[in-house]
Amino acid sequence: MFRSALKQSAKASRVVFSRRPISTQVPDNWVPLTVNGFDGAVGNTPLIYLKGISKETGANIYAKAEFMNPGGSVKDRAALFLIKGAEAKGQLKPGGTVVEGTAGNTGIGLAHICRARGYKCVIYMPDTQSQGKIDLLRLLGAEVYPVPAVAFDNPMNYNHQAKRHAEALDNAIWTNQFDNTANRQAHLETTGPEIWQQTEGKIDGFTCSTGTGGSFAGVTRYLKDISGGRVKSFLADPPGSVLYSYVKSGGTLIERSGSSITEGIGQGRVTDNLATEISLIDDALSISDEKTIKMLYRLLDEEGLYLGASTALNVVAAFEMAQVLGPRSNIVTLLCDGAYRYADRLFSKKWLESKNLLSSIPPHLEKYIVLP
């Protein structure tokens, strides 16, 4: 059934691309909106035209600047919808506690919104995450519990520990970002429509990586529906994740193995956020860490964009999608977050050597390796 759905989706999308330029001009008298608090500043991020790789591929590659959300990442959108959804259902009342298992950015978004709305915040996370993320969560007033990284089917997985913590409290919720489809809904209602409006409906392809599946699934669903299936959607996957092979094999899950320098993306299962959009995926791309780190340094050098590894992976995927869809196609990806939370690793010679990635940095970009 899965393989058949993929074939039907691919067949339906074999249409002529728009191949029309998108206006990037801003009126001289334009000023940003005035918004109500932290919540009101979430979303409506700009779409950035990436000049270097667009010129190289002959396509028009755009990237949505999600690092400009007030909490610094795309996860602000999901965090807001997770909390507002619980409030609407009467599951979270004033003075309550929000508990989540997160690799970092969702927790940061939740911590910000909890501060703004008067809730306590408790975060469980794998102890593989950067110290910068852990420190920031604590600075925002969250209780943070770094725990050993174990498989999802292990009862000591950080998600299960977060769930048990919430169940032991009164007036508390486990937001369950992986399988709570309010996450997906955030992107169906905001990110997808913003991309469509910003590209004037001329978008031909969308690609990004997936952790919870919310961003990829929500945007994919919206763009597929509004374009009548014309817009293609490619899933991007890092080493150690099973989703690339899942898509390519027509729905066979393999055991997860290996690892990646990226944080917060890759998956060992199909989450509820992703499950309903699996049939809409046109193709999948496996992106190596070598390609990711090279693109990260290239974006800093060519575009002045100081970005995290998951973002660099997304841009590599957009580059490869452009090579598939061809010249003049319009492709969009997401710039998930900045490099500020990872700088002690990504620009460290010692760390790069430990990951066997130092040789992946071209000589003319080695000047950015400024940390020992």
Q: What is the DSSP string of 148-185?
A: ----TTSTTSHHHHHHHHHHTSSSEEE--TTT-THHHH
Q: Which of 64, 75, 232, 294 is catalytic?
A: 75
246 Cβ contact partners less than 8 Å away, ≥ 6 residues apart: 252, 253, 254, 270, 284
75 is catalytic: yes
Q: Which CA distances in Å does 42 have to 119, 260, 270, 279?
A: 18, 29, 27, 29
What is the number of other CB atoms lying within 10 angstroms of the CB of residue 258?
10
235/88 Cα distance (integer angstroms): 32
Displacement of CA 17 from its chain's centroid (Å):
25
18 Cβ contact partners less than 8 Å away, ≥ 6 residues apart: 201, 202, 203, 204, 330
Beta strand ranges found along 66-106 (DSSP E): 97-101
Tell me the catalytic residues: 75
